Amino acid sequence: MYPGGNHITLSSLFYALNHPTRIMLLVQLIENEEVPYNFFEYSGSKPNLSHHLKILKQSGLTYTRRDGVKRYIFLKRDLIDTQFPGLIQIILNNKDNIH
């Protein structure tokens, strides 16, 4: 069971995937088990990064674990694979075409 629930709606999935920055963040989460908040490869502002990470979390795709003052972001990989089989591979196969 994941923090924040175990269901992803189709509309929240499409909303989360409707921005190239969020797809790029998802690629980083797919390629790494966990990503510390400050280690995301992102050229925008911290408030903008927080906004995109919040949308990914609200959509049900990710969850956050705190360790003191550090935050780690995780992908709900098993849940995504169960509800949307093949989605992770589709994202990886198209990571060079994110605009």
Would 3 be classed as within a structural domain?
no
pLDDT, one tens digit per residue, over 22-49 is: 999 999 999 998 898 888 888 888 899 9
SS3 of residue 4 by DSSP: coil
Of the chain, the percentage scoring pLDDT greater than 70 comes to: 95
Would 2 be classed as within a structural domain?
no
Averaged pLDDT, 53-81: 94
Q: How many domains does the chain have?
A: 1
Provide the residue range defining the domain that includes 37.
10-97
Averaged pLDDT, 3-29: 91
Mean per-residue pLDDT of the chain: 91
Sort 28 into a burial class: Cβ within 10 Å, 0-12 / 13-18 / 19+.
middle
The CATH number that applies at residue 86 is 1.10.10.10
Would 53 be classed as within a structural domain?
yes
Full-model pTM: 0.89
